[in-house]
Amino acid sequence: MSAERTALLLVDDDEQLLEGWARYFRQRELVVRTATTVGEALGILGRQTFDAIVSDIGLPDADGIELLRRVREIDADVPVVLATGQPDVRTAILAVDYGAYRYLTKPVPIAVVAAEVERAAQLCRLARAKRAALALAGGGEPAGDRAGLEAGFGRALDKLWMAFQPIVRAADRSLFAYEALVRSDEPTLPHPGALLDASERLDRMKELARAIRSAAATAWKLAPQNALLFVNLRSQDLFDEALFGIDDPLRPFAANVVLEVTERESLNSVADARPRIARLREAGFRVAIDDLGAGYAGLTSFALLEPEFVKIDMSLVRSVETDATKRKLVGSMVGLCHEMGMPVVAEGVETEAEREALVDLGCDLLQGYLFGRPGRQFPKSG
């Protein structure tokens, strides 16, 4: 064992058992604290860091699962061993889902508890070292368990903000619109993709989508007059009645908002997508197909959405000037969209050479680092 003494928190409302276990671990040089309720345990956790926690499930003020959730708001790594005298399938499943390290059934020999605690404490030190290394590298790692993910997701919602990236007219690079892109300063969910995945895993997609619309609307009050705002919508969002309500934060700006629906997700799962899109149009919103060329083949999304704008995926934009296949594809897409009266946005434009090629191919609008990175401010473009 290392020179560092293992810090252990024991939580149980059976004071006799608690004292017995505490004595056992103190004799083995561990630093032991005890609590008889979840509230008391959380108070101690707020002041001191532990390498392992052993907790009863049935406690006077709340249960061990609740403790697990609250622990993760404070400490991403500390392993929690749950020990119960009344094992049942429900708490066992929840324990696993919420990231309990072990689920033990009492009576349990103290030697078994001790072996689990030692192993848990070693893993805890490893987890802390890994997290420190990741922090050095500048990235975060979402906690693998549900309680950790919930805590990180909650913080991410609190630290949510919107970045805005200009979309310019191909003809003269004048500003046409902004795309709103979600960002969060929560280090364990560093990319929008991680945030969206977390919302799916936790079944909190509506909450995230509402937070995004609300943040976009708030920021939009500072935008230049008459600019359009492109906002990403996931096909799942179409199931949320709040999107259609008059209280939706984007509703007052509907006439200036274009909802981007990605081609990457199938719309087939949204049974009544068409009437829902129609309701959004009635409210004044316009619709764009996003990431065209990156997702589903066929014309379902066009037929369903009848979009006002089409956005070509950046995978087709990258090096379009030297890739004959991409040029041909972009050219025919632009031609077809124009026949249907839909202006085309090319996304992810990074170089002058790409810009020139896209202008030659007839793209109407351009977006990409060449014109402006997504930022907190509304960037001037020109």
Q: Which residue is nearest to ligand G (CB)?
A: 368
Q: How many whole angstroms separate alpha carbon 275 and alpha carbon 305?
A: 10
Q: Which is nearer to Mn ion, 143 or 208 (CB)?
A: 208
Q: How many whole angstroms separate alpha carbon 50 and alpha carbon 286?
A: 53
Contact criterion met (CB below 8 Å) for 303 and 274: no
Q: Which is nearer to Mn ion, 199 or 232 (CB)?
A: 232
Number of amino acids touching ligand G (CB under 6 A) = 13
Q: Which is nearer to ligand G, 76 or 288 (CB)?
A: 288
Q: Six-digit token pair at 37?
A: 């309720």
| Binding track over 289-328 against Mn ion, x by CB under 5 A | -x--------------------------------------
Strand 102-105 and strand 31-35: pairing?
Answer: unpaired
Q: Look at residue 81 and give the partner it binds from ligand G, Mn ion, none, a contact being a CB closer than 5 to 8 Å depending on partner kind.
A: none
Smallest distance from ligand G to CB 135, Å:
23
Identify the residue among 51, 77, 260, 321 touching Mn ion (CB under 5 A): 260
Q: Look at residue 181 and give the partner it binds from ligand G, Mn ion, none, a contact being a CB closer than 5 to 8 Å depending on partner kind.
A: ligand G
Smallest distance from ligand G to CB 146, Å:
26
Q: Look at residue 165 and give the partner it binds from ligand G, Mn ion, none, a contact being a CB closer than 5 to 8 Å depending on partner kind.
A: ligand G
Q: How many whole angstroms separate alpha carbon 172 and alpha carbon 61?
A: 66
Smallest distance from Mn ion to CB 290, Å:
4
Q: Six-digit token pair at 342?
A: 């839909």
Q: Which is nearer to ligand G, 82 or 181 (CB)?
A: 181
Instruction: Pick the stretch among 21-29, 106-114, 217-225, 341-349 that binds ligand G (CB under 6 A).
Output: 341-349
Contact flag: residue 231 with ligand G (CB under 6 A): no
**What is the sign of the dihedral through the CA atoms of 127, 131, 133 and 139?**
positive
Reduce the DSSP state of residue 372 to 3 states and report it: coil
- Which residues, 6 or more positions from 97, have their beta carbon under 8 angstroms from its beta carbon? 145, 146
Reduce the DSSP state of residue 164 to 3 states and report it: strand
Torsion of Cα atoms, 150 then 155 then 157 then 158, to 10°? 150
Contact flag: residue 181 with ligand G (CB under 6 A): yes
Q: Which is nearer to ligand G, 59 or 243 (CB)?
A: 243
Contact criterion met (CB below 8 Å) for 234 and 290: no
Identify the residue among 235, 265, 350, 381 touching ligand G (CB under 6 A): 350
Smallest distance from Mn ion to CB 228, Å:
13
Strand 160-169 and strand 175-184: pairing?
Answer: antiparallel
| 224: preceding bond cis by omega (within 30 degrees) | no
| Binding track over 281-310 against ligand G, x by CB under 6 A | ---------xx-------------------
- Backbone angle region of 288, left / alpha / beta, with phi > 0 → left and psi within -120 to 50 → alpha: beta
Reduce the DSSP state of residue 173 to 3 states and report it: coil
Contact flag: residue 232 with ligand G (CB under 6 A): yes
Contact flag: residue 348 with ligand G (CB under 6 A): yes
Name the residues that contact Mn ion, by CB under 5 A. 232, 260, 290
Name the residues that contact ligand G, by CB under 6 A. 165, 181, 232, 290-291, 314, 347-350, 368-369, 374
